[in-house]
Each structure stands twice: as C-alpha cells, then as structure tokens.
Amino acid sequence: MTFSILPASERDLPEIAAIERKVFGDPWSTQSFRESFGHHAMYFACARRDGGQLVGYVVAWFAAGEGEIANLAVDPSEWGHGAGRQLLEAALSAAAARRTTAVYLEVRESNARARRLYTSYGFEEVGRRRGYYRRPVEDAIVLRRTLEVKDG
Ligand SMILES: CC(C)(COP(=O)(O)OP(=O)(O)OC[C@H]1O[C@@H](n2cnc3c(N)ncnc32)[C@H](O)[C@@H]1OP(=O)(O)O)[C@@H](O)C(=O)NCCC(=O)NCCS
C-alpha cells in the first residue's frame, strides 16, 4: 500500500495526538507537537491514505550536520502496511537534503517492531540510556545511521 507523505499542519494535531495517546504510555502533549512547527531545523510530516485519513507521522530535526528522529508512529489499525517505512524514508531523505551525516534516535529496548524497522534502514546501536523511559520505566537503546553527503 502506498501513502502520501505531506507536511503536518496545525489542523492535523487532534488526529496526531489521538494516535500518540494510543501507541505510547508516555505520550507527547499536543503542545510539544505544536512547538515542532515553525523551526527551520524541524521536519514534521504525516502519512495519509488515498482517502485522506491520517495514519501516522514523523518528527525529526536536523542541524549542523546531525539530526534526530524524535517521534515516529502509525495508528495500530494500519501497522504492517508500510506507512512506518515510508515515513522513515521521508525523514531520511529530508536529512540527506539538509546535508546531515548522522541521524540518531532512541527506542525502547523491548520495542522489537520498531527496532527491526530501524535495523533494516542501517541504524546501528551506539549506546544505552538507563531508565530513560517512564510508564513503564525502561532503558533506551540509542541508534545511529550515518549518511553520505554528496558534493555539489
Ligand atoms: C514502529 C511503527 C512506526 C512501524 O510502523 P508500520 O507502519 O507498522 O511499519 P511498516 O508496515 O512500514 O513495517 C516496517 C517494518 O516494521 C517491522 N514490522 C512490521 N510488522 C511487524 C511485526 N508484526 N512484527 C515485527 N516487526 C514488524 C518490519 O521490520 C517491517 O519491515 P518489513 O515490512 O520489511 O517486514 C509502528 O509499529 C508504531 O507506530 N509503533 C508504535 C510507536 C513506536 O514504537 N514508534 C517508534 C518509537 S522509537
């Protein structure tokens, strides 16, 4: 299945916040998402099905050659259809366009689904933050993907 990846906007926030609350025990607030608008370093996009339904989103930032995937989620009813993959690809393309050479992210140790996705995109484990997550408390695994900056 293919999805359209589009810039997120203020009017998408209720749908984004609803997905966020479904999938994370310690969800971002709507205000945290709102603060991701308007910063030149931020990349905030959502995935929509043909009919327009918002099924997922990604928030990332890129600055001074480095970046981070800060949030990525897909509505559970849409898991396994490729939206997560497409959102991650879009963020990595944005990273490359902004001449980013290293992209980092944190993932719960037990989150096998997300870890498989990241591994398949060349992310490698570079560290661990003990007790980083709340509800439930769990270690974060820090992953890094390096990108080649092309001349020109
Ligand atoms: C992680 C997440 C974004 C993946 O979204 P998705 O739309 O289901 O992902 P895709 O359909 O594009 O699948 C991408 C990869 O995820 C993994 N995956 C998908 N379904 C899976 C399953 N049932 N079991 C294990 N891994 C699975 C596979 O590696 C898959 O690649 P493949 O299709 O080549 O097998 C989604 O599960 C999610 O929102 N999870 C909750 C929030 C979260 O954990 N976010 C990441 C925080 S760091």
**85 pocket-lining for ligand 1 (C-beta < 6 Å):** yes
Q: Which superfamily does 4-146 belong to?
A: Gcn5-related N-acetyltransferase (GNAT) (3.40.630.30)
Cα separation, 14 vs 130, whole angstroms = 32
Q: How much is the pTM?
A: 0.95
At 110 the pLDDT is 97
Sheet of 102-108, strand order: 4-7, 42-48, 54-63, 66-74, 102-108, 138-146, 124-133
Task: Indicate the domain borders of the chain.
Answer: 4-146
Cα separation, 88 vs 105, whole angstroms = 11
Q: Which atom of ligand 1 is nearest to the CA of 79?
A: 8
**pLDDT, one tens digit for every residue, the chain (152 residues):** 889 999 999 999 999 999 999 999 999 999 999 999 988 899 999 999 987 999 999 999 999 999 999 999 999 999 999 999 999 999 999 999 999 999 999 999 999 999 999 999 999 999 999 999 999 999 999 999 999 887 76
